[in-house]
Amino acid sequence: MAIFQPLTNNYFGGMPALGTPNHQVVNSYAVSSSEAAPILIGDVVVMTSIATVKAGSSAAGTAALANIIGLAASVVAAGAGSTAATGVRALVYDHPDLQFVMSNTSSGALAQGSLGLFHNYFICGTGCVGSTGPSATTTRSAMALSGVTGSSAGNVRVIALHPIENNYFTSNATGTAQKFICMWSAGSLFVNSTALLTT
């Protein structure tokens, strides 16, 4: 895949780590037609208060996202969503044990070696250094790990350097962002508080 390159300052949001269990579990979710921002492939998707989904919006990567559902597997243009059963809906990789690949930003280095692993990080939405924003050509996300703001409250837990990096940790000068295998951190996923219906 052209966007998947080692030591490269390119952002693609998140993508399932192929070969891991549960990486192809996808479900559809309603999207409100009033959402002003699109959902792009690889965006972190969150549940809204009206039981629809939207792209997470922590642009600066300095705060945790609430009610994460998973990663977008399809594109929904701004204003094109629908709550109707036959309308435009978002497909989302939503298995709670999903392992996925995400790049860090070139300005937010993760600590080298094991010091950077098994920590939680916030997600930088659109303000990644070196990024011109989401790609209109590939309709891919520009979300990335924010190594500047590692925090126990972060949504993403880094569990490994991706094999494409050949086990080489860089100091992350501009243009050398790396790819990591990640999982959702505890407490990040949406939990439906509505009581189960009984018959």
pLDDT digits (tens, 9 = 90+) for 42-51: 999 999 988 8
For residue 69, name the pLDDT band (cuts at 50, 70, 90).
Answer: very high
- Residue 103 CA to residue 49 CA, distance in Å, equals 29
Tell me if 177 sits within 8 A of 169, measured CB to CB. Answer: no
pLDDT at 196: 46
Residues 6+ apart with CB under 8 A from 109: 147, 170, 171, 172
Burial (CB count within 10 angstroms: exposed 0-12, middle 13-18, buried 19+), residue 153? middle
Confidence band of 76 (pLDDT split at 50, 70, 90): very high
Q: Write out pLDDT tens, residues 112-148.
A: 655 667 888 888 876 665 566 666 777 888 888 887 6
Q: What is the pTM of this model?
A: 0.86
89 to 46, 78, 85: CA distances (angstroms): 14, 12, 8
